[in-house]
Chains A and B, each alone.
Chain A
Amino acid sequence: KAGVTQTPRYLIKTRGQQVTLSCSPISGHRSVSWYQQTPGQGLQFLFEYFSETQRNKGNFPGRFSGRQFSNSRSEMNVSTLELGDSALYLCASSVNPGQGQETQYFGPGTRLLVL
Chain B
Amino acid sequence: AQSVTQLGSHVSVSEGALVLLRCNYSSSVPPYLFWYVQYPNQGLQLLLKYTTGATLVKGINGFEAEFKKSETSFHLTKPSAHMSDAAEYFCAVRTGGGNKLTFGTGTQLKVEL
Contact = CB atoms under 8 A, between A and B. Distances in A.
B43 A103 contact: no
Contacts of A109: 42-43
Contacts of A105: 46
Given A42-B103, A45-B102, A106-B36, A98 B43 contact: no
A100 B42 CA distance: 26
Given A33-B100, A45-B100, A101 B51 contact: yes
Interface residues of B, number: 25
A43 B42 contact: no
Interface string A1-41: 00010000000000000000000000000010101000000
A101 B53 CA distance: 11
Contacts of A35: 101
A42 B101 contact: no
B108 to A, nearest CB: 12
Interface size class of A (residues with CB under 8 A): 20 to 34
Residues of A contacting B: mostly: strand
Interface in A68-115: 90, 92, 94, 97-98, 100-109
Contacts of B94: 98
Given A90-B43, A106-B43, A97 B97 contact: yes
A16 to B, nearest CB: 28
Interface string A31-66: 101010000001111001000000110100000000
A41 to B, nearest CB: 9
Contacts of A42: 103-106
Contacts of B103: 42-44
Contact of B100 (A56, A100, A103, A107): A56
Interface in B63-113: 90, 92, 94, 96-106
14 contacts: A33-B99, A33-B101, A42-B105, A43-B101, A43-B106, A90-B43, A92-B101, A97-B99, A98-B97, A98-B99, A102-B99, A104-B99, A108-B41, A108-B42
